[in-house]
Amino acid sequence: MLYEHAGHAPRIDPTAVVSPSAVISGDVTIGPDCQILHGAVISAEGGPIHIGAHVIVMENAVLRAAASDPLTIGDHCLVGPQASISGATIGDEVFIATGVRIFNGAVIGERSEIRINGVVHLRTELPPESVVPIAWIAVGSPPQILSPDRHDEIWDVQQALDFPGYVFGLDRNTPDLMVQLTERYARHLAAHADDREVEA
């Protein structure tokens, strides 16, 4: 299903194949010979999404962009089932495995591999040909790639990256942080009430 959002309708190359159960919303460009499989959601939330040529987005993957963080995926990439990518820049020939999470402002260099359930945190930059092992976490710039049992080390870097400030414009120390965050974000998302379905 294709939706116009905030005055922008998806643009899909005629050689791309989009499953009828995929949802593509807003300022999204999908290049030639892409395959968008069942249940994938590609949603431009105020910023554009550009998907290059020969990209495969597998079942139930979620790709999002924000006004502050567009999403760009280069050519010949594979995005695995149930992966989630928000507002990142992905180089050419990148393998993103099942269950991977990539956060706003991340940059993934060409020919990198993010393996099953790997995480690339906010504003983390991976050089070309990087590997994030199964379930490991890449954090910071220059990046540290750490196993999940090293939470304190991950948090030391992640805290300074300031997720609530960078993504939501809120100070982490705000006493009612989640109240402000959810109310502000809900107001932003309410713009989908005006979306309209468009023809493929």
Q: How far is CA 99 from the centre of its chain?
A: 12
Determine the straight-line distance between the first and last CA of the chain, rounded to whole angstroms: 8
Per residue in 103-153, pLDDT tens? 999 999 999 999 999 999 999 999 999 999 999 999 999 999 999 999 999
Please state the pTM of the whole predicted model. 0.95
Beta-strand relationship, 84-86 and 56-57: unpaired
Per residue in 155-171, pLDDT tens? 999 998 999 999 999 99
Neighbouring C-beta atoms of residue 166, cutoff 10 Å: 16
Q: How far is CA 80 from the centre of its chain?
A: 12
CA distance 98 to 181: 29
Cis amide leading into 142 (omega within 30)? yes
